[in-house]
Amino acid sequence: MKQNTPAIASLKQQARRLRTAMHEAGTPISQSAALEAIARQHGHRDWNTASAAARWENPPRWQVGQAVRGRYLNQPFTGRIKSASEGTGGFWRLTLQFDAPVDVVTSRHFSNFRSQVRCAINSQGVTAEKTSDGTPHLALFAA
């Protein structure tokens, strides 16, 4: 029987709610124990199996020509995917063409506009690379 596994974010949210409820009931559990319990609730052997099924059933679909929006170096943008390839570990390598050039410099003394950028994003649509304040270099959403 095929399981209808929700997205990973939904599974993690369920685990947080379970953990909160258990804590309020006087029986605290760890986050990993909550994840394992949620995985079993959805018919999986363990969290690893559930997360693999969730990724497989709910993969982000990045396609050439797809309209996207997001933030690049904390500047909003809209654009299209110029190239896309699925990498290892759930990462996608994309080339994005911005609809309007994005100023990647925050200084008021000069500007540096980008019309296109190459990136590697994870399943949440963000880059592993972050700015000095911890913000991902790029956050991407389907338009």
Q: What's the confidence (pLDDT) of residue 2?
A: 38
Report pLDDT for 90.
76
* pLDDT, tens digit, 9 for 90 and up, residues 98-122: 999 999 988 889 999 999 999 999 8
Average pLDDT, the chain: 87
Beta-carbon contacts of residue 83 (< 8 Å; ≥ 6 apart): 64, 93, 94, 95
pLDDT band at 21; cut points 50, 70, 90: very high
Distance CA 129, CA 48 (A): 25
The predicted structure's pLDDT at residue 143: 67
Per the confidence metrics, is the pTM higher than 0.75?
A: no
Q: Using alpha carbons, select from 46, 66, 65 the residue that is nearest to residue 54.
A: 46
φ/ψ (deg, to 5) at 137: -55, -40
